[in-house]
């Protein structure tokens, strides 16, 4: 136990406490901790009681049962990843999900890369290398994890031509910036913030006309990108991917693991001409996805094709979940925990949940939370104790109270939370 030797040498263990027994105790405690830490994985499942459906730090989207099944069976055996069963010859992994994506979005062609950040880089590099890309100053955003449009542009060696001002950009700003070197117009969806007040941006439709007039393609980084129309459920104002395709945008990219509710991926849909160019580019191989992503993505997209996304895909289901259903789960928890003579106090309260994942920042959906207090323990102490459980429970802490938001807790997880309070 090198660490104990160092502690003794550095006198961090007080000399008068050093006895044979105390050192033996320390060694055994240390060993037990080491064995225990080996029994749990570094990447471990947790219960998300924060109510934030797309919690980036907790792995964003939970996958559907169908996606999990498809990933598991693909992992356990050989598969048709790049094999055409009909011809017995080599196939392309691009083909596995392309038809689902074109059918669902109305685009001519589609492909998938590692994540949307990779898709942005790839599109700029493949379509605008050493050329100019016109972007509004109001859309030069930073997305969590230090991904900045301006920086990614530099990396891809495309020249950023920023137009307009932070709060207002007009069509003439774009028009005046067009030169022989212009390769792309780029729109970046403001996923993680909202501008209010004296603001103006150019609508996609207007920019479309300019793009056609100059024969310069329009690219939109949609960020979260959704196939499900949350607007119809009066949640937020996200355009669907199919609406943007129908508006005539030449190429669009979005994430697989945000509102879509699938595995991490960067999905690109667009004209056949552009997507073919991307598929042939050297970077397509560098940024390609693995078979598990494709397995999970195919199953996820299938739910959309079969119009089962609202019941099968946890992300969609949890976002549109009614307040009444969340209340039922909160009450189920309360009934069970009250039978245990727990020393904690629990009350059900109305509250709101956030969508998270840098999507729909202004949206708050009505929910129910269980507020937890204790005579002596602070909320921080309770939250920490819950994190230390075998299956860690991650909670919201607000005004010195621990809040359990049952929007993101499944019925079959309730007993685990109950046990944590005994
Ligand atoms: C989230 C986001 C990205 C990055 O997507 P990842 O799939 O996380 O790599 C890029 N652009 C916008 C606008 C986003 O919201």
Percent of the chain scored above 70 by pLDDT?
98
Instruction: Pick the more confident residue, 201 or 109.
Output: 109
Check pocket membership of 266 for ligand 1, CB cut-off 6 A: yes
- What is the number of the ligand 1 atom nearest to the C-alpha of 117? 9
Residue range 183-210: average pLDDT?
83
The whole-angstrom separation of Cα 101 and Cα 227 is 10
Contacts of 309 (CB under 8 A, 6+ apart): 227, 228, 261, 303, 316
Residue closest by Cα to atom 1 of ligand 1: 223
What is the pLDDT at residue 319?
Answer: 98
- Tokens describing residue 342: 């727990």
Instruction: Give the phi and the psi of residue 211 in degrees, each rounded to 5.
Output: -60, -45
Check pocket membership of 226 for ligand 1, CB cut-off 6 A: no
- Least confident piece of the model among 133-147, 167-181, 247-261, 362-376: 133-147
* Residue linked to tokens 């660490």: 3
The whole-angstrom separation of Cα 394 and Cα 56 is 13
**Kind and range of the H or E element at 162?**
strand 159-163
Judge whether residue 279 has pLDDT over 70. yes
Whole-angstrom CA distances from 197 to 57, 163, 167, 194 are: 32, 20, 9, 10
Distance (angstroms) between ligand 1 centre and the Cα of 128 equals 19
* Per-residue pLDDT reduced to its tens digit, 75-115: 999 999 999 999 999 999 999 999 999 999 999 999 999 99
Strand 142-143 to 251-255 pairing: unpaired
- Least confident piece of the model among 37-46, 52-61, 126-135, 214-223: 37-46
3-class DSSP state of 293: helix
Check pocket membership of 116 for ligand 1, CB cut-off 6 A: yes
Judge whether residue 272 has pLDDT over 90. yes
Pocket test for ligand 1, best of 118, 142, 147 (most atoms within 8 A of CB): 147
């Amino acid at each position: 136990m090198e660490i104990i030797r160092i502690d003794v040498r550095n006198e961090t263990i007080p000399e008068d406490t050093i006895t044979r027994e105390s050192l033996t105790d320390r060694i055994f405690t240390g060993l037990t901790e080491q064995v225990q830490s080996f029994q749990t994985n570094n990447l471990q499942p947790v219960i998300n009681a924060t109510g934030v459906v797309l919690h980036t730090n907790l792995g964003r989207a939970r996958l559907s049962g169908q996606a999990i099944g498809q990933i598991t069976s693909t992992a356990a055996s050989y598969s048709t990843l790049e094999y055409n069963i009909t011809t017995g010859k080599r196939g392309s992994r691009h083909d596995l999900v392309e038809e689902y994506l074109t059918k669902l979005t109305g685009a001519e062609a589609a492909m998938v890369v590692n994540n949307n950040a990779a898709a942005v880089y790839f599109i700029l590099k493949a379509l605008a290398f050493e050329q100019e890309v016109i972007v509004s100053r109001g859309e030069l955003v930073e997305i969590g994890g230090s991904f900045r449009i301006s920086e990614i542009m530099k990396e891809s060696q495309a020249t950023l031509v920023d137009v307009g001002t932070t709060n207002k950009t007009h069509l003439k700003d774009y028009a005046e910036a067009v030169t022989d070197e212009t390769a792309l117009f780029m729109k970046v969806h403001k996923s993680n913030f909202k501008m209010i007040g004296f603001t103006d941006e150019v609508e996609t439709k207007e920019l479309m006309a300019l793009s056609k007039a100059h024969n310069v393609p329009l690219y939109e980084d949609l960020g979260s990108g959704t196939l499900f129309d949350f607007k119809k459920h009066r949640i937020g104002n996200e355009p669907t991917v199919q609406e943007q395709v129908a508006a005539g945008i030449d190429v669009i990219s979005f994430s697989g693991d945000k509102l879509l509710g699938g595995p991490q991926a960067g999905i690109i849909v667009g004209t056949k001409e552009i997507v073919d160019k991307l598929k042939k580019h050297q970077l397509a191989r560098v940024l390609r996805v693995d078979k598990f992503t494709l397995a999970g993505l195919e199953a996820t997209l299938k739910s959309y094709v079969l119009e089962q996304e609202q019941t099968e895909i946890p992300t969609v289901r949890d976002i549109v979940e009614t307040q009444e259903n969340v209340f039922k789960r909160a009450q189920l928890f309360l009934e069970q925990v009250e039978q245990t003579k727990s020393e904690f106090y629990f009350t059900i309260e109305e509250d709101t949940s956030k969508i998270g994942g840098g999507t729909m920042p202004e949206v708050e959906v009505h929910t129910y939370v269980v507020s937890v207090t204790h005579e002596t323990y602070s909320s921080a102490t309770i939250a920490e104790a819950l994190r230390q459980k075998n299956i860690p429970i991650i909670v919201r802490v607000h005004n010195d109270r621990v809040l359990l938001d049952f929007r993101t807790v499944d019925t079959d997880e309730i007993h685990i939370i109950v046990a944590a309070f005994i």
